[in-house]
A and B are shown apart, each in its own frame.
Chain A
């Protein structure tokens, strides 16, 4: 591909898809925001739920139930509202894949 064509393609993609531009490590980065309470890579050290290895569907259901208020919480209902469905899915898949 000629450079000019490549740049034109990049520009079109950039103009239409900037908002969707995704870092290859986005799931890892988002999951790291949970680690303060739930441990590095979801390995809690006590008093909090370990998320590492938990099935992704279960994580998604819990977080969305916190968000809707179906599952009562002290704090998770407020935190869950800060994450989109897509972000929750990325985080859930990441933790599910941890050992």
Chain B
């Protein structure tokens, strides 16, 4: 007589998932199984996964989280630090809450992953063996795709990973003379946080209008149009900021000169006082250790029911690093939702059960247009067994009618709640 685990193995977990799911439907919730899960990356995806694996397994699954930074610093809300309305300390959260959940935290860097041996190696020589691995590495930059950019991130900050870069960009804006030019370059989509660059243009313009009103904000977008909340951002660009913000679509950056802060486009050269370039992005480089081909040479292809990387068994990848489902944004909120799907799937798989056949995720992104007013975009995505991906639920989702103070309050409440959801 085959037991459930053997049957799963012999039938092939994915092919059998539908029929087996029916077989499980009447069964009681299985007792959580043990095992060791290593999580790489303590951002929105990894921290959430670590917490929920501990919480949902009632402490039975051992979780080791490997993270380079000693504290979590949030990208969402970091544009308010650039604006001056918030300090870096306001967007910094300790990892102590996860320790309280029993998560073993290793502050280090993973340098190698051996998928066959189920082992990761750290820069200090430590090896960690796992039953399942969850990789949430976020993005890495490709500065070499813009001439003159690589190695010059002190002169030309990105401030697209929150931390010292955020503070640096803020300092450059404070030092800029009234009448100066702040130029912001947006790479071709997909990039981390679709509305984020337009939010940055608005909140920088807000700061400059209040303190350096003769200045200009120049948005150089490699894309043909605003990538998120277009109508809402245009309300600000053409409204309060119409004499300050100039938006230029189809403005791919060819090269930069770091000493003169000059941006070279195909037909134009722009000299800026503060030059903020978001470089092209790809999945965090550690995914190259998985030995799988990346989609568009940048993003990890995953199975949506388990969030397992195609071609890398026992390895689950979440967050900005994956090739997204249709209309799904690369956002911290979405990484948190991926992590919960992955955590649930990992616990089922450790217990010899198929993953949940009907996962659903939702996204909310708030954007500030000044220090107090914000607006949102929301969406809900449900698994389609036919398409084998998550699709937006018809009729759901949408955007604000206009930015408001009330949604500014909700945006900050969102940040407090999601930080607690992942880190306490």
User: Which A residues have a C-beta under 8 Å from some C-beta of B?
Assistant: 3, 10-11, 13-15, 17-26, 28-30, 32-33, 35-40, 44-48, 74-75, 78-83, 87
CA distance A33 to B363 in the complex (A): 9
Can you list, as one digit per residue, whether each of B253-269 has a CB less than 8 Å from chain A (1) or not (0)?
A: 00000000000000000
Proximity string of chain B (15-27) to chain A, C-beta cutoff 8 Å, 1 when within and 0 when not? 0001111111101
B404 at interface, CB cutoff 8 A: yes
The total of chain B residues at the interface (CB under 8 A) is: 61
Docked pose: A62 CA to B229 CA in angstroms: 27
A10 to B359, CA, bound (A): 22
Nearest B-chain residue to A49, judged by Cβ: B413
Q: Is the CB of A23 within 8 A of B421?
A: no
CA distance A30 to B380 in the complex (A): 12
Beta-carbon contact of B359 and A29 below 8 Å: yes
Residues on B with C-beta less than 8 A from A17 are 22, 25
Establish whether residues B417 and A37, one from each chain, have CB atoms under 8 Å apart when the complex forms: yes
By a CB distance below 8 angstroms, the chain B residues around A45 are: 416-417, 420
Sample of 6 further A-B pairs with CB below 8 A, known A22-B21, A37-B418: A35-B417, A37-B413, A47-B409, A47-B410, A47-B417, A82-B397
**Contact: B22 with A83, CB < 8 Å?**
no
Give the Cβ gap from A54 to chain B, nearest Cβ, in Å: 16
Name the interface residues of B353-383: CB closer than 8 Å to any CB of A: 355-362, 364, 376, 378-382
Identify which of B22, B23, B358, B361 contacts A26 (C-beta below 8 A): B358
Q: Give the complex CA separation of A22 and B109 in angstroms.
A: 39
Q: Give complex CA distance A47, B20 in Å.
A: 42
How far is it, in angstroms, between the C-alpha of A75 and the C-alpha of B396 when the chains are bound? 11
Distance in angstroms from A24 CB to nearest chain B CB is 4
Tell me, rounded to whole Å, the shortest Cβ–Cβ distance linking A28 to chain B: 7
Do A35 and B416 contact each other (CB < 8 Å), given the known contacts A22-B358, A23-B21, A75-B378?
Answer: no
B340 contacts A by Cβ under 8 Å: yes
With a CB–CB cut-off of 8 A, which chain B residues contact A36? 333, 336-337, 364, 414, 417-418, 421
What is the bound-complex CA distance between A37 and B420, given in angstroms? 10
A19 to B21, CA, bound (A): 9
Contact A23 B357 (CB under 8 A): yes
Residue B412 is within 8 A (CB to CB) of chain A in the complex: yes
Q: How far is the CA of A14 from the CA of B385 in the complex (A)?
A: 14
Contacts of A23 in B (CB 8 A): 21, 24, 344, 348, 355-358
Q: Does B395 have its Cβ within 8 Å of any Cβ on chain A?
A: yes
A78-B21 CB under 8 A given contacts A36-B417, A40-B420: no
* CB-CB nearest 6 A-B residue pairs: A82-B380, A47-B413, A14-B19, A21-B21, A82-B396, A23-B356
A91 to B24, CA, bound (A): 20
- CB-defined contacts of A29 to chain B, threshold 8 Å: 340-341, 344, 356, 359-360
Q: Which B residues lie within 8 Å of A48 (CB)?
A: 410, 413-414, 417
Query: Which has the most chain B C-beta neighbours within 10 Å: A24, A25, A80, A83?
Result: A24
In the complex, A39→B357 CA distance in Å?
25
